[in-house]
Amino acid sequence: MFIGEAPGREEDLQGEPFVGRAGKLLDKILAAIGFKREEVYIANILKCRPPDNRDPQPDEMKTCMPHLLEQIYQIKPKVICALGRVSAQALLETSTPLGKLRGKWHDFNGTPFLVTYHPAALLRFPGYKKDCWDDVILLRSKYDELIMDNNDGDKK
């Protein structure tokens, strides 16, 4: 499961997360690690676009968080990946900078949780792509490990 912060203009118009330029890049990232978009669940913390595409406000996130938590509960993802600072800090309930959160595993209610850059940030700052690549390789490795463990009768 991949979680961003809020719909942008294209997402708001189409009613689907990550369909604009950032979404196209996310599709390429997923393909590069062997996932099709149809094999993952993509969500946002906010369910509607904030005015002027600004960062979500704390009260907006608090209002929408129960909906996201229900999505996570229903989907039961093997791993969760926060796309960007806003979703990472909101879900981990921290103010730690993204640079200190990414590159390592966290726990989200018993689910392995990884933080990486939002695809929109990669479009603005291509220098982040190497770190993002390292993150998604880590994600794929953990996912494969969990699938293997399930196929071996949940030995871990």
pLDDT tens digits along 122-138: 999 999 999 999 999 99
Give the pLDDT score at 152.
60
Question: What is the domain range of residue 83?
Answer: 2-151
How confident is the model over 7-49, as pLDDT tens digits?
988 888 888 999 999 999 999 999 999 999 999 999 999 998 8
Confirm whether 110 is domain-assigned. Answer: yes
Confirm whether 156 is domain-assigned. Answer: no
Per-residue confidence band for 155, with pLDDT thresholds at 50, 70 and 90: very low
C-alpha angle 34/37/42, rounded to 5°? Answer: 120
Confirm whether 50 is domain-assigned. Answer: yes
Q: Number of folded domains in the chain?
A: 1
Give the pLDDT score at 8.
87
CATH code for the domain in which residue 57 is found: 3.40.470.10
Is pLDDT of 153 > 70?
A: no
40/30 Cα distance (integer angstroms)? 9
119/24 Cα distance (integer angstroms)? 9
How confident is the model over 58-90, as pLDDT tens digits?
999 999 999 999 999 999 999 999 999 999 999
Give the pLDDT score at 9.
86
